[in-house]
Amino acid sequence: MSRKVLGQSRLRRWLFAVSLAIAFGPIFFAPAFATPAADWNYRVRPNDTIWDLTGRYLKPGIPWQKLQDYNKVADPLHLPPGMTLHIPVAWLRLEPARARVIAVIGHATATLPGTAQAMPVTQGMSFGYGATLVTQSDSSLTLEFADGSRILVQSNSELALDRLSAYKNTGMVDTRVRLQRGRINSDVTPMSGNAARFNVSTPGTISSVRGTHFRVIADSATDEARTEVISGKVDVGNDKRHVLATTGLGVTTAGEASPGQPQSLLPAPALQCPVVPINQFPYEFQWQALNGARHYRVQVASSAKFEALLLDRVVDDTRAVIPDLSDGTYAIRVRGVGTSALEGLDATCSAISIDNHPRPPLIVSPQPDSRVRDTRPAFRWTESQQATSYAWQLASDPAFEHLLADQPQVTGSEVRPAHSLPLGRYYWRIASRDDTGKVGPYTHALPFDLVSEPPAPVPGEPKRSHGDLTLSWPAGQPGQRYHVQLARHPDFTRPEVDATLDRPEIDLKKLSSGKWYVRVQTIDTDGYAGPWGSVQKTRMPCVACRWAAAGGGASLLWLLL
């Protein structure tokens, strides 16, 4: 009789299958890994009876005598505490389970079996097997399963609940979900009992676990499936191959090809977590660059459980601006995205405090880096609907260590300093106070310069020539312009000449005779119009009148002759 020797490749596959079976126990998702149903073991507690245990755990119709015979119980009236009862999994009562929505943000819908109309998903809803959940852009939700395991369904994802079952009162569940597209983040409760399982399938793979934290991506754009293991072990396989990925490894599967070799995920970046409450927005988080990172994913949630995402963005830089959030405690996490599109381990700030309300009002004047000429300037702002009063401060330095004025209870939308200020650079800020007395954050330091008024120009001696008039005045600073008006009346209600000039002079052609009033003001480089100069008066002679007078005298002389 001849004996067949196993080839090396076949032997390696057999040994690998055995190692997976040892690592995972009975995970039923492919024939190659199926094992005969084993027993579930129960340790007897005081006052347990075989009748009570039969009613609590076994399917209807299975008599207690079968359990007695299977465990060779001599006296069914007395079960010794600490004794181990072996119960075949096939005898256990299996009941439908449900997945509950514990958090949702944005717009998500669910379609139930046998229906075509999708319904909006709200917190507290629960779904059984056969339901399909879809999240839109900037939306996310978290499902909690019968054993406490959770799945975060991220934006633009579609997840079908293929099987949700629980072995009554045993703590064992059979959870199988199918990710058609998008991204999920799974946190699976460690499983006890050899019938428990948790499977996530994609169009090309099945990821099976017995208690771990992992991510699954079904990328419809590239026709790839990716599994990223944050902690624990995940078996990734299809009908071509199975690979075991452990903590810090990821597996990519292209289309219907075999799963690739596990690759190392990028380490968590060094994230700078704020140590004091954030009270100024926009706020920018920063982290150190990672070698091999092409992008970074940034996520913000209302707690470190990340049950629903307030922000989920991919950025190219090592910084990100978080949105304006209401007061409270939040969590942020950042991870690198490698060249293979696998995402790395998370760096997390788990308790970020935001104290940003009531928000400060909008600034009217002085605007930052503007020039002010009034030595007792008016500080103006809009009136906030959240505020009952305002806290206003004026300082000579941007850190407000040297306060020049401090009014903590300002009503209305304007305040002036009590005394005139010398020329120089100043800083001011404003904060709102709500009806509870809480003062929100101040605005950033708003600098301005108190400068002197531009001088009022005084026109020089006018130059007249045959109805033309040229006016000029001393030049101001480079870049300044000039506003000139000429009118018949000194109140200038109806100026006949109104011009803005770049040079300190004006040429007026064929000006009508008679009295004219002139005034000039300087327009500074920031557009500020200084005071009008003193009103000047000039007279244009009547040339025609002189000719008429000369002609009339000649006629009279001619008549006399």
Instruction: Give the pLDDT band of residue 36 (cuts 50, 70, 90).
Output: very low
Q: Quick check: 346 pLDDT over 90?
A: yes
Whether residue 247 lies inside any domain: the answer is: no
Dump pLDDT digits (tens) for 276-302. Answer: 888 877 788 899 999 999 999 999 999
Of the chain, the percentage scoring pLDDT greater than 70 comes to: 88
Domain shared by 395 and 346, yes or no:
no
Three-state SS for 556?
helix
The pLDDT tens digits for 352-400 are 999 888 888 989 999 999 999 999 999 999 988 889 999 999 999 999 9
pLDDT of residue 30 exceeding 50, the answer is no
Q: Are 467 and 510 in contact (CB under 8 A)?
A: yes
CB 149 within 8 A of CB 164: no
Within a domain: 525: yes
- The per-residue pLDDT for 466 is 58
The reported pLDDT for the residue numbered 471 is: 85
What end-to-end distance do the CA atoms of the chain give, in Å?
Answer: 168
Mean pLDDT of 193-219: 89
Residue 299: predicted pLDDT = 95
Domain containing residue 526: CATH number: 2.60.40.10
Residues 6+ apart with CB under 8 A from 353: 274, 276, 277, 278, 328, 329
Q: How many CA atoms lie within 13 A of 120 on its CB side?
A: 7
Determine the structural domain holding residue 538 and report its residue range: 463-544
Whether 51 shows a pLDDT value over 80: the answer reads yes
User: Is the residue at 370 inside a domain?
Assistant: yes
- Do the strands 446-450 and 99-105 form a parallel or antiparallel pair, or are they unpaired? unpaired
Q: How far apart are CA 169 and CA 94, in angstroms?
A: 10
> Based on the domain organization, do 413 and 384 belong to the same domain?
yes
Mean predicted lDDT score pLDDT of the chain: 85
- Tokens matching residue 278: 């954030």
d(CA 190, CA 205): 22
Residue 78 has a pLDDT of: 86
Greater model confidence, 463 or 425: 425
Q: What is the pLDDT of residue 415?
A: 96
Examine residue 12 and state whether it is found in any structural domain, yes or no: no
Task: Taking residues 74-98, report their average pLDDT.
Answer: 89
pLDDT at res. 282? 76
Hey, how many other C-beta atoms are within 10 angstroms of the C-beta on 22? 8
> Would the pTM count as exceeding 0.85?
no
Are the beta carbons of 393 and 405 closer than 8 angstroms?
Answer: yes
The pLDDT value recorded for residue 386 is: 82
357: which 2 tokens? 């309300």
Please provide the size of the chain in residues. Answer: 561
Same domain for 412 and 432? yes
Q: Examine the domain organization and report whether 426 and 484 are in the same domain.
A: no
DSSP state string for 60-107: TT--HHHHHHHHT-S-TT-PPTTPEEEEEGGGB-EEE--EEEEEEES-
Question: Same domain, yes or no, for 439 and 490?
Answer: no
Higher-scoring residue by pLDDT: 296, 38:
296
251 in a structural domain: no
Total domains in the fold of the chain: 3
Domain termination site, one of 423, 450, 477: 450
Q: Are residues 367 and 444 in the same domain?
A: yes
On whether residue 479 sits in a domain, the answer given is: yes
Q: What is the pLDDT of residues 467-511, one digit of tens each?
A: 578 888 878 888 889 999 999 999 999 999 999 999 888 888 878
pLDDT one-digit tens code per residue, 137-183: 999 999 999 989 999 999 999 999 999 988 888 888 889 999 999 99
pLDDT at position 171 is 81
Residue 446 and residue 472 in one domain: no
Per-residue pLDDT band at 37 (split at 50, 70, 90): low
Residue 470 and residue 492 in one domain: yes
Centroid of chain to Cα 483: 49
Give the domain-ending residue among 327, 354, 381.
354
Q: Work out the average pLDDT over 265-274.
A: 93
Percent above pLDDT 90 for the chain: 57
Residues 470 and 440 placed together within one structural domain of the fold = no
Distances (CA, A) of 386 to 360, 445, 535: 9, 21, 49
φ, ψ (nearest 5 deg) of residue 12: -60, -40
- Tell which residue, 267, 336, 324, has the closest CA to residue 300: 324
In the structure encoding, which two tokens stand for residue 379, read together? Answer: 């500080």
Q: pLDDT for 301-319, tens place per residue?
A: 999 999 999 999 999 999 9
What is the DSSP-derived secondary structure letter of residue 24? H
Q: Is the pLDDT of residue 556 over 80?
A: no
Give the pLDDT of residue 317. Answer: 93
SS3 477: coil
Q: What are the tens digits of pLDDT across the range 408-431?
A: 999 999 999 999 999 999 999 999
Q: Identify whether 421 is part of a domain.
A: yes
Distance CA 27, CA 200 (A): 12
Same domain, 441 and 518: no
| Beta strand ranges found along 340-421 (DSSP E) | 347-354, 363-365, 370-372, 379-381, 389-395, 403-410, 414-415
Would you say residue 35 has pLDDT above 80?
Answer: no
Give the tokens for residue 310: 């307030």
In a domain, 468, yes or no: yes
Looking at residue 550, its pLDDT comes to 41
Single out the residue in 354, 377, 408 at which a domain terminates.
354
Please give the single-letter amino acid code of residue 475: A
Give the pLDDT mean for 231-247.
93
400 and 437 within one domain: yes
Where residue 456 falls among pLDDT bands split at 50, 70, 90?
confident
Residues 348, 370 within the same domain: no
